[in-house]
Amino acid sequence: MKGKLEIKNLKKTFSRTDMTGTLCAIEDLSLNIEAGEFVSVIGASGCGKSTLLRTIAGLETPTAGEILCNGKEVRGTSPDRGLMFQEHTLFPWLTVRKNILFALKSSKRFGTNGNIVDSLIGTAGLKDFADSYPHQLSGGMRQRASLIRSLAVSPDVLLLDEPLGALDSFTRMVLQDEIIRLWKERGNTMVLITHDVDEAIYLSNRIVVMSPRPGRIAEIVNVPMSYPRNRGASDFANLRSRLLKRLNFASDTEQDYYL
Amino acid sequence: MIKNRVICLLPFVVSVLVIVQYLLMPNFREFTPLDQNAPTYVWVWVMGAFAATFAVWNIAAVFSRRVNNRLRKKAPLLAVIFLLVLIYDYATLKSGILPQPFVPWPDAILNAIIRDREILLFSLGHSLRLLFTGYGIGVALGIFTGVAAGWSLKVRYWIQPLTRIFGSIPPVTWLPIILILASSLFSGAVFLIALAVWYPVTSTTMNGVLSVPKSTFEAAGTFGVSKVGMIFKVAIPASSPFIFQGLAQGMSIACTALLIAEMMGVEAGLGWYINWQRGWAEFAAMYGAVVIICITFFAVNAVLDLTKRRVLRWKQEV
């Protein structure tokens, strides 16, 4: 089984242009993610979760520490580690089908995966839009097309950087089910960055809670519920309030702020 | 609607009026049969062809709604254009209000083109060869430097001052120097046109590459696109709307540079022909070359625009 990620003592600092010194985005972070696992990372803005994901993708190089994917050190981007952004990154000059073919040909996986293009487009409900250009699609359809384009190359790990953040809540719920179905079908590792606690609980096996400045892991929470999950169940609600408390958005004492 | 029908018929009516005026109204002076500007039936045939086209168009419009809508849209413009032709014919051949012989009438211009067709065709060929050689070199170099400057900060540091300088100085300023230094007049003119095209293509391409979102390249990176692929399969297509802007700007500057080069130094082509005929006071022939230049440049730009519409199909609005 491929798709195992090992993050060892990762540190990432950025030099700042507005002041001397550096900004520490991630400080001494270690995390193992098993092959086929679905892990979500939540935390307030600026806790380094996006930096973590970009470093796993190979778009940033670690300042210290290392990341291993399938036991090999991550150096630069690779089709083994797909990345999906909040804004769709479909190439606007290509149709949906050609976007997917572009990904397949660039990653030299056309030979093995060329035959699944149409079925992927079909399962994403984009059959009638295969030859449409991205600007002709709705926001939800664009993200769906982005998702199947990322999956078409069969990455061992798919990194999702708030992929549903810009969508309305109904479309978001539909796409969450879609993501689970595709993940179950293909068995790859998923790492999701999200602001949405419900989304994290609904989708993942494990939730990593990060705390900001410098970014480090505050807590790792297992989600022992079976799929498909019920958003209204009591253990769902319990977990939600526990996570919100951890993120300081809810308190069990009445005392909050004094003005 | 009766009003729409009348508007649709206007181009036909006006073009018939042009023929009627030409045939029935007395000319401003008598012509001997030996006079090479003596009125002929060429103009009648040409206007007759237009009138017939409009008549057929009107008949087709009765049967097809689409044809009808198109005709209704174009009819007022066409009617005014032919009204201007009617007035022009009156002001020259029929009344001599416009100073003669400096402003020839359409029939004389058409006959001059027919008389000189061989040399005109050769001149047209020479002009087009010069235009496209210079344009092609300018575009190729412009896209190359534009992509390089958009891609690399170091290249941009050196290219940007160059585009600023050449952007603020009309390229024909260099013409005298180029014509002295160039090994032949043709290659000098090619150099001038290429230089004129290079600047706008470089700066629009550079801006295009700079405007591509970083995430587009990052996404391509996750699919394992190579460095070369990033340029040819991502950067250039992503910035193609900008590149086409430069291609259009470059074409209009190239046309200007071509004519000036031909009028000032190159001893061939339509620009040269105009000067040559002016020297002989052959005004009809001179106007004929102007007409051919207008049609040629219009056609070249129309082809460019059509290509742009096709290539940029993926854009929301072009």
Q: Please name every residue paired with B305 in a beta bridge, in sequence order, or none if there are none.
A: none
Nearest CA in chain A to B233: A102
Spatial CA neighbour of A193 closest among A67, A48, A60: A48
Burial of B104 by CB count in 10 Å (0-12 exposed, 13-18 middle, 19+ buried)? Answer: buried
Distance from CA of A82 to the nearest CA of B (A): 6
Q: For residue B261, what is the enclosing H or E element? A: helix B240-264
Nearest CA in chain B to A58: B222
Q: How far apart are CA A74 and CA A64, in angstroms?
A: 13
Could you state, in order of their start, the residue ranges of all structural domains in chain B? Answer: 2-98, 117-314
- Whose tokens are 């970009």? That residue is A54
What is residue A254's predicted lDDT score, i.e. its pLDDT? 44
Looking at residue B175, what DSSP letter applies?
H
- Whose tokens are 């070359």? That residue is B289
What is residue B318's predicted lDDT score, i.e. its pLDDT? 47
Distance from CA of A5 to the nearest CA of B (A): 17
Q: How far apart are CA A102 and CA A65, in angstroms?
A: 34
Instruction: Enumerate the H helices of chain A as residue ranges.
Output: 49-57, 96-106, 110-113, 117-123, 139-152, 169-186, 197-203, 234-246
Q: What are the chain A neighbours of B243 within 8 Å (beta carbons)?
A: none
Distance from CA of B308 to the nearest CA of A (A): 13
- The reply to whether residue B215 touches residue A107, judged by beta carbons under 8 angstroms, is no
User: Does A81 contact chain B (CB < 8 Å)?
Assistant: yes
Look at residue B9 and tell me whether its pLDDT is greater than 60.
yes
One CATH from 3.20.190.10, 1.20.1370.20, 3.30.365.10, 1.10.3720.10 for B117-314: 1.10.3720.10
What is residue A1's predicted lDDT score, i.e. its pLDDT? 63
Q: Which domains does chain A have, with CATH numbers?
A: 1-80+157-168+188-250 (3.40.50.300), 87-154 (no CATH)
User: Does A55 contact chain B (CB < 8 Å)?
Assistant: no
Residue B278 in tokens:
């002016």
pLDDT in tens, B273-302: 999 998 888 899 999 999 999 999 999 999
- The reply to whether residue A89 touches residue B219, judged by beta carbons under 8 angstroms, is yes
**Other residues' Cβ atoms within 10 Å of the Cβ of residue B204:** 24
Looking at residue A222, what DSSP letter applies?
E
What is residue A250's predicted lDDT score, i.e. its pLDDT? 53
What is the mean pLDDT of each successive set of 10 residues along chain A, which is 259 residues long?
82 75 80 89 83 89 86 84 87 92 85 78 85 89 88 88 85 87 87 90 90 82 85 85 78 47
What is residue A219's predicted lDDT score, i.e. its pLDDT? 86
Q: What are the chain A neighbours of B224 within 8 Å (beta carbons)?
A: 77-79, 106-108
- Whose tokens are 């199909």? That residue is B313
The model carries a pTM of 0.82
Q: Which residue type, as a one-letter code, is found at position A18?
A: D
User: Does A86 contact chain B (CB < 8 Å)?
Assistant: no
Average pLDDT, chain B: 91
Number of H helices and E strands in chain A, helices first, is 8, 10
Look at residue B208 and tell me whether its pLDDT is greater than 70.
yes
**Three-state DSSP class for residue A166:** coil
- The reply to whether residue B314 touches residue A92, judged by beta carbons under 8 angstroms, is yes
Nearest CA in chain A to B310: A93
State how far Cα B46 lies from the chain centre: 22
What is residue A258's predicted lDDT score, i.e. its pLDDT? 47
Q: What percent of chain B has pLDDT over 90?
A: 71
Give mean pLDDT, residues B24-51.
Answer: 90
Residue A117 in tokens:
């293009």
Q: How far apart are CA B210 and CA A208, in angstroms?
A: 36
Please tell me the total number of residues recorded for chain A in this structure. 259
- Whose tokens are 């508007």? That residue is B7
Beta-carbon contacts of A75 under 8 Å, excluding residues fewer than 6 positions away, are A58
The interaxial angle of helices B106-115 and B283-311, nearest 10 deg, is 90
Look at residue B21 and tell me whether its pLDDT is greater than 90.
yes
Q: Please name every residue paired with A67 in a beta bridge, in sequence order, or none if there are none.
A: A7
What is residue A223's predicted lDDT score, i.e. its pLDDT? 86
State how far Cα B264 lies from the chain centre: 20
Q: How far apart are CA B55 and CA B8, in angstroms?
A: 10
Look at residue B183 and tell me whether its pLDDT is greater than 80.
no
